[in-house]
Amino acid sequence: MTAITLSPATARTPWPIVLLHARRGPDYLFAGALAVQLRSLGYTSRVVSGFYARPDRFDAASGQTPVLGEDVHFWTEVLGPGKTWIVLEPTPGYEVLQPQPRLFASMLAAVTALGVWLADQVVPLSCLACMSYTLWLWRRRLLDRLGLLLWEGRSRRCWRAATLGALWLIERRSRWAGRERPVGCAPVRWWRQPQRTDAGALPKLAELADWAAFAPASANPPCPAHEALSLCRQALREWTVRRFRQCRGEEC
């Protein structure tokens, strides 16, 4: 048995006074005080010494907890039913390792923690939900604005790519409005129908896009580059999603 040496100040002062009034002291005094209290109530108790595995030293990678010489610790045990010693931890700053919870208990604890967190974050989550709903309602307009910005950035590099990109943006708007060009119908044929008297710059853009897609690189362009870009911008201004929804869809 290892002898315990008290400091001079502790030796002159009764240890219950140290715990009750100063509310601090070594772990063996807390363990001994609890053991005496339990025995006074008729319970069989004992003071046990060993090592304390600190939770903050747990290494998740190895699954082990380093234990040092300074981790020597005293605690109290009480004899329970079935001759089982139950661990009690009276010293402040120490905790008893709890048994591994079952699956249902773990799920219940996770749901409870999630509910508490959601209750604490009502205002931020409500603002986030409103912003998400607003973005969902305006998603097509935002995507259209983003597409126009990207098209403006790339249009100055190559007028062929700018023409094809402008026609692609317009056809995407037609899909959003439910006026999609039929499969197998070329853009030139679709936009040059006789009944399309209000097509504006779109038939010319379709013809220019057809030339840009299939003409060889050495061929002379049908119009200067600045006129082609001007035609693209005019068609993009004219044919918005709202206009596609207002116009009637004709069969090819």
**pLDDT exceeds 80 at position 11:** no
In this predicted structure, what is the pLDDT of residue 250? 45
Query: Can you give the pTM of this predicted structure?
Result: 0.53
94 HSE (CA, 13 A, CB side): 20
139 versus 196: the higher-pLDDT residue is 139
Q: Distance of CA 207 to CAs 70, 162, 238, Å?
A: 86, 14, 17
Residues sharing a CB contact under 8 Å with residue 198, sequence separation 6 or more, in sequence order: 247
In this predicted structure, what is the pLDDT of residue 20? 61
- Cβ atoms of 141 and 172 closer than 8 Å: no
Q: What is the mean pLDDT of residues 130-151?
A: 92
Pairing of strands 72-80, 45-51: antiparallel
Beta strands in the chain, from DSSP E residues, in sequence order: 45-51, 72-80, 84-88
Which of 83-87, 157-161, 190-194 holds the top average pLDDT?
83-87
* Encoded amino acid at 216, one letter: P
140 HSE (CA, 13 A, CB side): 12
**pLDDT exceeds 60 at position 135:** yes
In this predicted structure, what is the pLDDT of residue 48? 93
Pairing of strands 45-51, 84-88: unpaired
Q: Distance of CA 19 to CAs 8, 14, 15, 41, Å?
A: 16, 9, 6, 19
Which of 99-113, 124-138, 156-170 holds the top average pLDDT?
124-138
Measured CA to CA, the distance from residue 44 to residue 35 in angstroms comes to 8
Q: What is residue 199's three-state secondary structure?
A: coil
- pLDDT, tens digit (0-9, with 9 covering 90-100), for 177-221: 888 888 888 888 887 764 455 667 888 898 899 888 888 878 888
Measured CA angle at 195 (ends 193, 200), to 5 deg: 75
Measured CA to CA, the distance from residue 126 to residue 192 in angstroms comes to 50
Only one residue has tokens 């907890």, namely: 65
Q: Distance of CA 40 to CAs 6, 10, 27, 34, 90, Å?
A: 24, 24, 20, 10, 16
For the ranges 24-33, 126-135, 229-238, the lowest mean pLDDT is seen at 24-33
> What secondary structure does DSSP assign to 114-173, as a single string?
HHHHHHHTHHHHHHHHHHHHHHHHTHHHHHHHHHHHHHHHHHTT-HHHHHHHHHHHHHHH
**pLDDT exceeds 70 at position 22:** no
